[in-house]
Amino acid sequence: MGPQARLQSELTKLDSQNRDVWVLIAFGAAVLVLGALSLLSPGSFWQQNALELKIPPQVLFVTMMIVMVLGLYMVRRELEVRKLRLLNVQHALAAQMELSASMVDSLTNVFSRSFLRELLQGEISRAERNNRPLGLIMCDVDNFKQVNDRYGHLMGDYVLAQIAAILKACVRGSDYVVRYGGDEFLLVLSETDEPGSRIVMSRIRQKVADWDRANRLGELSIGISLGLHQHVPGESVEQSVAEADARMYADKQVPRNKGAVATTTPTPHA
């Protein structure tokens, strides 16, 4: 159920609850009015232990007017409160949907770069606080410019969406796939050491190769370059990303046999 449907369901439930409350209020008001009149004018109500209603027209009219005015005031106040509540919910929902839209890249359906710093800063803080490893893998699609030049940008968009789907399929639900820019993606692997990160890289290479064989664009082969960096405590977000990016570019210079993975031993930063 989407947020709009949930909002409508909550409003329907609220209306039902409000109707129940108003029935109770009307019943209680009638009891209070009759009780007050019986106390103020007992002779008009009780005759030989029997209830007799003898109310002057003026008293009845004034009482009805007071009850009506109070009822209208309460109804108007409730409607205004409900309207304000609805507007607040709608504004909060619109803000949440706008935030969610800005966090996700519409083409590839992975996280957008605008969300990267906040995301990675949180993962770095958690990893350092708990003394846990954090792996970063920068990914770049090989021959992507030729795809756009030969087959057009619609085909390029299709390839990017397919690569993004492969990357998401190769990581866990606790990991993150971020479109870093153009045909580059950054994988944030929480609580993943270097051997675990290398397993992810091998899985990505295999799945991309399988996809390329099944969807070969003429003589143009689609591959992927990967750069692995294990976060070192004390590194900033920018430093960690730059390390992964540099190693991805180093991997791009390796001959097309991608069996070797460009990586270096992380060195602590001052």
What is the pLDDT, as a whole number, of residue 205? 95
What is the rounded CA–CA span in Å between residue 132 and residue 138?
A: 20
User: For residues 100 and 113, what is the distance between their CA atoms, to the nearest angstrom?
Assistant: 13
Residue ranges of the chain that CATH labels 3.30.70.270: 111-252
Which of the four pLDDT bands, split at 50, 70 and 90, describes residue 141?
Answer: very high
Pick from 2-6, 160-164, 252-256: least confident: 2-6
Q: What is the pLDDT of residue 261?
A: 42
> How far apart are alpha carbons 258 and 255 in whole angstroms?
7
Please determine, for residue 269, whether its predicted confidence score (pLDDT) is greater than 50.
no
The 10s digit of each residue's pLDDT in 221-246 is 999 999 999 999 999 999 999 999 99
Q: What is the pTM of this model?
A: 0.62
What pLDDT score does 219 carry? 83
Token representation of residue 104:
């996700």
Range with lowest mean pLDDT among 67-71, 126-130, 148-152, 210-214: 67-71
Q: How far is CA 226 from the centre of its chain?
A: 28
Distance CA 204, CA 198 (A): 10
Domain covering 111-252, topology: Alpha-Beta Plaits (3.30.70)
Place 48 in a pLDDT band, splitting at 50, 70 and 90.
Answer: low
Is 183 one of the annotated active-site residues of the chain?
yes
Position 192 pLDDT exceeds 90: yes
The predicted pLDDT at position 58 comes to 61
Q: Please tell me which residue in 140, 142, 175, 183 is annotated as part of the active site.
A: 183
